[in-house]
Amino acid sequence: MTAKVAAGLALLFACAVTPAAEIVLNPDHPDRYLVQANDTLWDVASRFLQNPAQWSEVWYRNPVLGNPDQIYPGDVLVLRQGAGGPRIELETAPTVPLSPVIRVTPLAREVPVIPEDAIRAFLTRPRVLDNADADTLPYVVGFPDEHISGGAGYGLYARGVREAKGSVLAVVRPGPAYRDGVTEEVLGYEALYIGDAQVRSAGEPAELLLLRAEREVVIGDRLLAVEPQELTTSYTLHAPAKPVAGRIVAVRDGVTQIGQYQVIVLDRGGRDGLEVGHVLDIYREADTIKDYVAGGFGNVVETPPDWSGLLVVFRSFDRISYALVMKAVRAMHIGDIVKSP
């Protein structure tokens, strides 16, 4: 193990082992709050709490309601103090045990956890290829009439297609590798979405028709069967049950400095305990400074990691996760540390 890897692992472990934090209310918290139509759950939690990750610890899941985790525009939330600490609940919710019921809200949609527009494309399209996918998925082998690329409405030939006639496959292009921020192990590859193609005839090669294309399809692009996925908002903000620590390993849109509402890639996933709705702290890595007073040029001091903001995991794969930066007090960068609150 190299010194760099050993130091990185030690730092991540040190950051991960932290005691459970007490619930701290926002100094400007309301006692009652009317949920607005443009609110997200993050907005609501931030009004009451210093750390929105603790929402699930203070939210009263009324057993009378069949959808106790969902809140809607027009709901009135009340903060109550009890022997067990602060509790937030619906003002109009029944408090006596009854048969579970579903609130009927025909004109209202439940408040999303985080801004949907910022993450929609990452939920409805394939985004990650594992190490095996990059080499074994069906691939585009050519086009009719000796074309070297194709767009919407073009036909294409592909090898390895096993899906039946009429099936729709996503066309993706393997992109940069996602690597562990410390060990540099390859965890998977970015799947650049190109378009959708429908199987017109089976065979080897199979013939497909490009239904839509965001860019030109070229020989070597891969085909991926995609299960329809609904945009899910029915989850809640919470901290991981066990300590988790990792790194930011990529950011969308090719930027070098990361800010609020940008999508980032983490080198931790489901196998590490991360799941949708988890809130993590973001830290700038510790730095070293020279101590000229104590002993000249050879004396250095390591500064503690600087807290930079908060993120919410909105999609988790086996070894990596996508997260949205919800709070940023300074610019963040690839390589910054993420860890349990």
pLDDT at 7: 44
Residue 203 CB burial class (10 angstroms; 0-12, 13-18, ≥19):
exposed
Distance CA 189, CA 197 (A): 21
Compute the CA torsion angle 169, 172, 177, 180 (nearest 10 deg): -40
CB 277 within 8 A of CB 113: yes
Predicted structure pTM score: 0.79
Give the amino acid at 11.
Answer: L
For 245-339, CATH number out of 1.20.1440.130, 1.20.1560.10, 2.40.10.410, 3.30.450.20 equals 2.40.10.410
What backbone phi and psi angles, to 5 degrees, belong to 90?
Answer: -70, 130
Residues of the chain with CATH 2.40.10.410: 245-339
pLDDT given at position 166: 93
Q: Residues with Cβ < 8 Å from 7, sequence gap 6 or more?
A: none
Instruction: Provide the terminal-to-terminal Cα distance of the chain, rounded to the nearest Å.
Output: 29
Looking at residue 117, what is its pLDDT? 79
Written as six digits, the tokens of 245 are: 């620590």
- CA 152 from chain centre, in angstroms, equals 30
> Given the DSSP bridges, would you call strands 186-201 and 128-129 parallel, antiparallel or unpaired?
antiparallel
pLDDT at res. 94? 47
Residue 96 has a pLDDT of 46
Nearest to 72 by CA among 26, 104, 116: 104
Q: What is the pLDDT of residue 254?
A: 66
68 cis-preceded (ω within 30 degrees of 0): no
Q: What is the pLDDT of residue 296?
A: 61
Q: Residue 264 to residues 122, 147, 238, 331: CA-CA distances in angstroms?
A: 11, 36, 19, 13
Predicted local confidence at residue 329, as pLDDT:
93
User: Which pLDDT score is estimated for 131?
Assistant: 80
Please tell me the distance from the alpha carbon of residue 318 to that of residue 313, in angstroms, as a whole number.
13
Q: Which residue's entry shows tokens 């989850």? A: 235
What are the 10-residue block averages of pLDDT along the chain, 341 residues in total? 45 47 90 92 94 91 76 91 88 52 51 82 78 87 90 94 93 93 93 94 94 94 78 76 94 80 94 94 86 73 87 93 93 94 83
